[in-house]
Amino acid sequence: MAMIANLQYGWTLFVNPISEKYGWSKAAIQIAFTVFVLTETWLVPIEGYLVDKLGPRPVVLVGGILCGLGWVLNSYASSLPMLYIAAAISGVGAGAVYGTCVGNALKWFPDRRGLAAGLTAAGFGAGSAITIIPISAMIKSSGYESAFFYFGIGQGVIVFLIALGLKAAPSYLKKGTAALKIKVQQGRRDYRPSEVLRQPVFWIMYLMFVTVAAGGLMATAQLGPIAKDFKVMDVPVNIMGLVLPALTFALAIDRVLNGLTRPFFGWVSDQIGREQTMFICFALESFGILMLYKFGADPLLFVVLTGLVFFAWGEIYSLFPSTCADTFGSKYAAANAGLLYTAKGTAALLVPFSSMLTAATGSWEAVFVVSSVMNAVAALLAWFVLKPMRKALMDESIPEHELNKEAELKALGRVPDRLV
């Protein structure tokens, strides 16, 4: 997971150098980012289906090869169509790795799905933290082409080698789920992907995922241009004796926090519930985005507030997969989580729109305000819509004989295991 992180989170470092070399508009270059995210996400249901049928190893092996190939092609891309093709290849590879690893984690740890998905997704969120500085340095010293080429080969080889050790979750884990002391409610039925698509609660989760992911993806892809327009990109920032340019500092800290938030809030959701955690995080994200717009022109605050924004955003990649598996079961967890993950691709369609909106208005204000409002709406949906809808669906999925048994336990003053 860490080795595919740069494909998304390192992209912002390449936008300005590519634009300066070829004179392409940033909006045109960012289409490549959209293509990457679309292919990374919209094919995950198919990749998840293959994982459920064939196991994780072959899917990730192919994914590693494609991830390396995509960045190598980026180093030679001298036209926009070539840049888009390379982005598509990278996206297919990254989706194969990401969807497989998260889906497999959901199956391995049914009693700690939030934490398991969070720890797995943390590699994608924080993985680029260790390479942001060397990639930035190589771009400045040798050109962005060398950075694409050498890091592409290195990342692809590492993914391929590690994939050889992947194993599928054993079937006895699902059979023993009822004996586990699970603090969040889970359905007792395994929904096929075709059935999931017919459930209204899935589309509520999808809408929420899109609204929250859009704001974070805009920041991920546009952080370099935002820093440049705020005139803080190369301004030195000193935090605890470490001095780095504001953008480089922000990217490094953001990657760490974006990774840490996934297992942290995943664990929190295992304790207090998925929707409660969503409400807290999405409200914090809404606040952080507004503060970044208001105070981001200060180099130190730019670093701190972008960290807050990413800390409140990254948890969606642990909360939504775990919520999906809780609701629709373990058997088809990889494919079902893949269906929900396509929301990230839908959200990515808004990234070029943000560039065009900024160009039209001459300011980032509209982008920041819209992103903040979208997060606030998602927070309210989590508490007032998703929570009651999920509970109703999962109650329906409990077999009648288990409901009768629970009624007997309640009559005796005992609490059923699923509600412990």
Is the confidence at residue 195, as pLDDT, over 90?
Answer: yes
Return d(Cα 193, Cα 379) in angstroms, integer.
Answer: 26
Give the integer Cα–Cα distance in Å for 67 and 90: 5
Q: Which CATH architecture has domain 2-165+191-378?
A: Up-down Bundle (1.20)
Kindly report the average pLDDT of the chain as a whole number.
Answer: 85
Which helix (H) or strand (E) segment holds residue 305: the answer is helix 299-313
At 107 the pLDDT is 86
Report the range of poorest mean pLDDT among 150-154, 182-186, 277-281, 379-383.
182-186
8 Å CB contact between 26 and 19? yes
Output the pTM of the full model: 0.78
Angle between helices 274-295 and 316-328 (to 10 degrees): 160
DSSP code, position 384 = I
Quote the pLDDT of residue 283. Answer: 96
* Alpha carbon distances (Å) from 211 to 102, 140, 275, 278, 286: 21, 35, 15, 13, 11
Render pLDDT for 229-260 as a digit per residue (tens, 0 to 9).
899 998 989 888 888 899 888 888 887 887 88
Identify which has the larger pLDDT, 183 or 298. 298
- For range 284-288, the mean pLDDT: 93
Encoding tokens for residue 146?
Answer: 């060398």
Spans of all domains in the chain: 2-165+191-378
Question: Nearest 10 degrees: CA dihedral of 250, 255, 260, 266?
Answer: 120
Mean pLDDT value of segment 97-115 = 87
Amino acid 179: pLDDT: 47
Cβ-contact 147, 344 below 8 angstroms: no
The HSE-up count of residue 417 (CA atoms within 13 Å, CB side) is 13
d(Cα 274, Cα 267) in Å, to the nearest integer? 10
